[in-house]
Every structure is written in C-alpha cells, then in structure tokens.
C-alpha cells in the first residue's frame, strides 16, 4: 500500500472518530437534558401536592384579605400606592414563618432524598377601575415581590408554575367616622409564580449518568487504541512488504551476475580453442569454481539470515591466528584479483590460539573486506591489523573508501539496511553483510564497532574474548 493511501486512511479514520465522538457527545447532552427534565418534573409533582392543601389555601386567604384591606385604603386615599404593598410586608413575613414550618413538615413527608428550596413570588398586582388599569405592583428586572418560602435569585432555580387570580370584591367601609358606609368595588388581578431550587441537582443528574459517561469514555478510548493499533500494524506491514520487495530485487540481481558468468564460461569450455589450451581451460574452471562458490555463499547467507541470531550454532575449533588470517586473506586476494586492491596486513607478533567457528568467522571478516572494496574509491587500500589486549583479541580493518555519515553508522548493522543516498545506488547488495557479521561476532561473545568519516574511510573493530 502506498504511503499516500495510508495517509488518506489515517485522515478519514481520524475524521470518522471525531464525527463519532461528536455524535456521542450530542447524544449524551440530549440524555442529560432529558434526565434533567424528568428529574425536575418529578420534583415539581411532589412539591405541587404540598401547594394544593387546605393549610396552604388558608394561608393565602389570610394574606389576600390583608392585601384587599390595604387596597381599599388606597382606593379611599388613606394610603399611597407604594404603601399598599410595603406596609404589610412584616405581616407577609410573619405568614411566611408559618408557611416555612408547614412546608418543612410536608417536604419531610415526601422524602425526596435531596435538599430543595421553594418560593412563591408575585409578578404583578393590577386593579381594574372601570376599564382603566391601575398597576399596584409589577416585577421589574427580576425584582419580584417575595411571598412565601426561601428567597433565592430567579436564575438559580426553575419555574414550576404560574398562576393568575382574578377576583371581584365588594367592600364596605364604615370607618368614615360620620356613620356613612363607603362602598368599594375591587377588581383585582394577581399574577404569581412558583419556583424551586434543587440543591446540587447537577450532581444528582450527573450521578445518574455516571455509568453512561464511564462506558462512553472507555468505548472511545478503546476505539482510539484500536485505531492506533491498526495503523501501526498497517505501517509495519508496509515496511515488511517494502523490505521484501527490496530483498527480492536485490537477490535477483545478486544471483544474475554469477549465473550469467557461469553460462558464458560453460559455453566457452565447449570452444575447441580453449579446450586445446590447458592454461585457458584451467582458468575457465577457476572462474566456474569461484562463481559456484559465490552462489553457494549467497544462498548460505540468505539461509543463515532466515534463522536470525539465536539460530546461529557455532562449531568452534582452535586455530592459530597467523594461520587463520593467512588462509582468509589468500582467499580474499584471489577474489579481488582483477581489481586494484592494496592490502596491508599486520598480525599480532605473539602467536594467539583463536577459538572460533572458522567458516562463520571467515564470512564475517570477508563481508567487511567485501564492503571495503565495494564502497571503496578507485584505488582501494585496506589494512588489517590484529592485537592482543589482555583477554581479548582485536581485529582492525581500515579502508580508504567513501565512508559512512554519523547518522547512518548506527543503522548499517540492521537487517537489510542499505545506504540509499549518493551514488552508492550503483553498487548492489542485500544489506545483510554487516548484519550477519555482527550476529556472528555476537555469537562469539564479541563486539563490533566502527569509526568513519565520509570521503576519508572507515575503520571496523572486532573484539573477541580469548579464553
Ligand atoms: P551485502 O553485504 O548483503 O551484499 P551491503 O553491502 O549493501 O549488502 P552491508 O554489508 O550490510 O550490506 O552494508 C550496509 C551498508 O553500509 C552498505 O549498503 C553501505 O552503504 C554501507 N557500508 C558498509 N561498509 C562500508 C564501507 N566500508 N564504506 C562505506 N560504506 C559502507
Ligand atoms: Mg556488504
């Protein structure tokens, strides 16, 4: 899958996740509103039961009688308009004390399980005088006339009911002093409003929704985790597919070269001229041998690689360092016979007995030497130096090649890693040589490090313990 496709997939998945969480948020909000409404409705029902009782009616009547008395006084000019309301405020307050006792008793009977404030306020009192409206009181800017209950700001509570009383009243006043009876007709309209303030209602509603919240968050986190995991797996799969493609491309190339040489040489052997010259014939056979070995080596490398480092089984043998390096370097020189390679060797003077898997250790050394030629300049200069240091044996292989930048140095031991910048593209390889070399050295309980400067050269240092 192309990187672009993965990016599109990531973007659409993120968008889908966002949309999904948006929808979920919306649904949760709706549920919250619904729960809130139901909760307030239920509370309202319990409270209105208290409001419609005989006790409540008699309290309201007491208040109402007092109000009408004042209104008559106002109509007969004994009181100014404001006083008709303000004057009997202390009386209202004393009625409220009775109301509160009654209310507390009743609300305890209902047993709501949470605290509740209730208030009854007056919005307006209007007198009708022969079709002329006379506003005695009108609530302005939330400034209501507080009647019963506990006073709290309007915005902290919920209105549960509104009422409008309209009464006609004939009133006889014989307190004129001169025995005259004064008749007053009162048409009064009173608008009231009942509100409740449920203490901590948000906490109660949220509490009812807690499991929904937790479940939603868990589900969301699970979706995000699932999404990240899928993308990670996808990217990993893509990397594996890329590596596999590279590997197939490279190995095809690597196999083609020796096979092509083999077919040319085998054809040339049929040639009479070559068959007649024993020197040419043996040379052709040498080439056949070399190419055959190369193919074998290539296949071995791929096979061994498939096993991984844990799969490396060493069959160690003891061998003198001098003899070992003589053999290895002789083989190497033969393989680079036609190239311009200068090799300097400096083996530890004191003879050291190495305990190594000869075949595998040779592969490691040859892989490093191969690279020195592959990534070398026109005139390749290689120096191989070995020294004994306490209980370890150090092999230093130095070349004058193109070098490796610091950034790449850490990665070149990785499986299939090849530097793909500059003109290194020209040289084909599997990116396995150094990986395999480091696995072999590690299997020997050794260590491999490098120092390199671009355009100057590279130094590989292999250290193995001597027992
Ligand atoms: P293979 O050895 O499997 O045929 P390869 O040579 O590409 O392929 P490695 O030997 O593992 O793979 O090397 C990894 C990379 O490190 C190489 O592609 C090369 O770019 C870089 N490299 C290795 N040795 C040297 C060196 N001596 N000088 C410069 N670059 C090097
Ligand atoms: Mg290599």
The token pair at 431 is: 């990116």
From CA 403, how far away is CA 410, in angstroms rounded? 13
432 lines ligand 1 (CB under 6 A): yes
Give kind and range of the element (H or E) at residue 112. none
As a 3-state breakdown, the chain gives helix, strand, coil percent values, each rounded to 5, of 55, 25, 20
- How many A from CA of 463 to the centre of ligand 1? 20
349 CA from centroid of ligand 2 (Å): 30
CB 189 within 8 A of CB 165: yes
- Is residue 103 within 8 Å of 50, Cβ to Cβ? yes
Q: How confident is the model at residue 421 (pLDDT cuts 50, 70, 90)?
A: low
Q: Using only C-alpha atoms, what is the Rg of the chain?
A: 50
Q: Is the CB of 402 under 6 A from ligand 1?
A: yes
**CB 424 less than 6 A from any atom of ligand 1:** yes
Handedness of CA 239, 245, 248, 254 (dihedral sign): negative
Query: 430 alpha carbon to ligand 2 midpoint, in Å?
Result: 7
Instruction: Report the separation in Å between the CA atom of 408 and the middle of ligand 1, taken as the mean of its atom positions.
Output: 11
What is the atom index within ligand 1 of the atom nearest the CA of 399?
Answer: 27
Strands (E), 22-149: 116-129, 132-138, 145-149
Indicate if ligand 1 lies below 6 Å from the C-beta of 434.
Answer: yes
CA 209 – CA 32 distance, rounded (Å): 8
With a 6 Å cutoff on the Cβ, whether 160 touches ligand 1 is: no
State whether the beta carbon of 59 lies less than 6 angstroms from ligand 1: no
pLDDT digits (tens, 9 = 90+) for 23-46: 999 999 999 999 988 888 888 888
- Find out whether 453 and 376 touch, Cβ atoms under 8 Å: no
Write out the DSSP string of 402-450: S---HHHHTTTTSTT----SGGGGGS---S-HHHHHHHHHHHTT-EEEE
The answer to whether the beta carbons of residues 372 and 441 sit under 8 Å apart is no
Distance in angstroms (rounded) separating the CA atoms of residues 123 and 125? 7
Q: Which atom of ligand 1 lies closest to the CA of 402?
A: 29
Nearest CA residue ID for atom 12, ligand 1: 431
**Least-confidence region, from 165-179, 219-233, 330-344, 394-408:** 165-179
Which of 442, 344, 352 minimizes the C-alpha distance to 385? Answer: 344
Mapped to the 3 state alphabet, what secondary structure does 214-244 carry? HHHHHHHHHHHHHHHHHHHHHHHHHHHHHHH
Per the structure block, which two tokens stand in for 224?
Answer: 């995000």
DSSP annotation of 39 reads H
Tell how far the Cα of 343 is from the centroid of ligand 2, in angstroms. Answer: 18
Q: Among 91-95, 169-173, 225-229, 305-309, which is the least confidently predicted range? A: 305-309
- The Cα–Cα gap between 398 and 343 comes to 10
Q: Which atom of ligand 1 is nearest to the CA of 431?
A: 12
pLDDT at 304: 64
For ligand 1, say whether the CB of 314 is within 6 Å of any of its atoms. no
> Would you say the pTM of this structure is higher than 0.85?
no
User: What is the per-residue pLDDT across 259-282, written as a single tens digit (0 to 9) for each?
Assistant: 887 888 888 889 898 889 999 898
CA-nearest of 191, 114, 112, 121 to 159 is 121
Q: Which residues contact 452 (CB under 8 A, 6 or more apart)?
A: 403, 404, 405, 409, 458, 459
Protein residues placing their CB within 5 Å of the ion ligand 2: 371, 433
Q: Give, using CA atoms, the residue closest to atom 23 of ligand 1.
A: 371
Helix ranges (DSSP H) in 169-318: 201-269, 272-276, 278-307
Question: Could you read off the pLDDT of 240-252 as tens digits, one per residue?
Answer: 887 777 777 767 7
Residue 304 Cβ < 6 Å to ligand 1: no
262 CB contacts (<8 Å, ≥6 apart)? 288, 291, 292, 295
Q: How far is the CA of 444 from the centre of ligand 2 (A)?
A: 20
Instruction: Look at residue 308 and tell me whether its pLDDT is greater than 60.
Output: no
Atom of ligand 1 nearest to the CA of 457: 28
Sequence-separated (6 or more) residues with CB below 8 Å from residue 286? none
Q: Can you tell me whether residue 161 is helix, strand or coil?
A: strand
Which residue puts its alpha carbon closest to atom 29 of ligand 1? 403
State the distance from the centre of ligand 1 to the C-alpha of 235, rounded, in angstroms: 26
The average pLDDT across 332-358 equals 88
- CA 159 to chain CA centroid, nearest Å: 44
- For the segment 183-201, the average pLDDT, to the nearest whole number, is 84
């Amino acid at each position: 899958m192309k990187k672009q496709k993965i990016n599109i997939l990531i973007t659409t998945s993120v968008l889908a996740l966002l949309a999904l969480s948006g929808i979920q948020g919306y649904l949760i909000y709706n549920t919250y509103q619904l729960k809130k409404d139901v909760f307030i409705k239920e509370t309202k029902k319990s409270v209105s039961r208290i409001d419609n009782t005989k006790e409540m009616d008699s309290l309201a009547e007491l208040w109402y009688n007092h109000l009408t008395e004042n209104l008559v006084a106002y109509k007969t000019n004994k009181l100014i308009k404001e006083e008709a309301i303000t004057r009997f405020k202390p009386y209202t307050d004393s009625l409220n004390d009775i109301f509160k006792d009654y209310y507390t008793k009743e609300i305890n009977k209902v047993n709501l399980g949470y605290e509740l404030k209730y208030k009854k306020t007056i919005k307006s009192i209007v007198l009708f005088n022969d079709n002329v409206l006379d506003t005695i009181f009108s609530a302005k800017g939330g400034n209501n006339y507080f009647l019963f209950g506990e006073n709290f700001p309007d915005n902290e509570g919920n209105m549960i009911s509104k009422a409008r009383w309209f009464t006609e009243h004939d009133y006889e006043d014989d307190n004129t002093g001169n025995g005259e009876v004064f008749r007053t007709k009162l048409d009064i309209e009173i608008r009231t409003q009942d509100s409740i303030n449920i203490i901590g209602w948000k906490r109660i509603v949220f509490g009812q929704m807690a499991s929904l919240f937790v479940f939603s968050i868990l589900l969301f986190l699970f979706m995000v985790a699932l999404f990240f995991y899928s993308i990670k797996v996808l990217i990993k799969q893509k990397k594996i597919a890329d590596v596999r493609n590279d590997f197939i491309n490279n190995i095809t190339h690597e196999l083609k070269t020796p096979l092509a040489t083999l077919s040319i040489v085998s054809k040339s052997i049929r040639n009479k001229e070559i068959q007649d010259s024993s020197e040419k014939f043996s040379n052709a056979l040498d080439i056949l041998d070399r190419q055959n070995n190369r193919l074998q080596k290539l296949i071995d490398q791929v096979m061994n690689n498939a096993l991984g480092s844990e799969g490396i089984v060493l069959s160690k043998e003891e061998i003198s360092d001098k003899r070992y390096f003589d053999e290895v370097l002789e083989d190497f020189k033969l393989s680079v016979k036609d190239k311009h390679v200068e090799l300097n060797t400096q083996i530890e003077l004191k003879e050291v007995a190495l305990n190594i898997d000869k075949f595998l250790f040779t592969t490691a050394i040859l892989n490093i030497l191969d690279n020195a030629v592959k990534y070398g300049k026109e005139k390749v200069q290689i120096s191989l130096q070995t020294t004994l240091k306490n209980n370890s044996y150090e092999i230093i292989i130095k070349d004058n090649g193109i070098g490796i930048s610091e950034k790449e140095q850490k990665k070149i031991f990785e499986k299939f890693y090849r530097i793909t910048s500059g003109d290194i593209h020209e040289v084909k390889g599997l990116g396995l040589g150094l990986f395999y070399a480091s696995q072999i050295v590690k299997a020997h309980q050794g260590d491999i490090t490098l120092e390199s400067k671009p355009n100057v050269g590279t130094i590989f240092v292999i250290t193995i313990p001597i027992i």
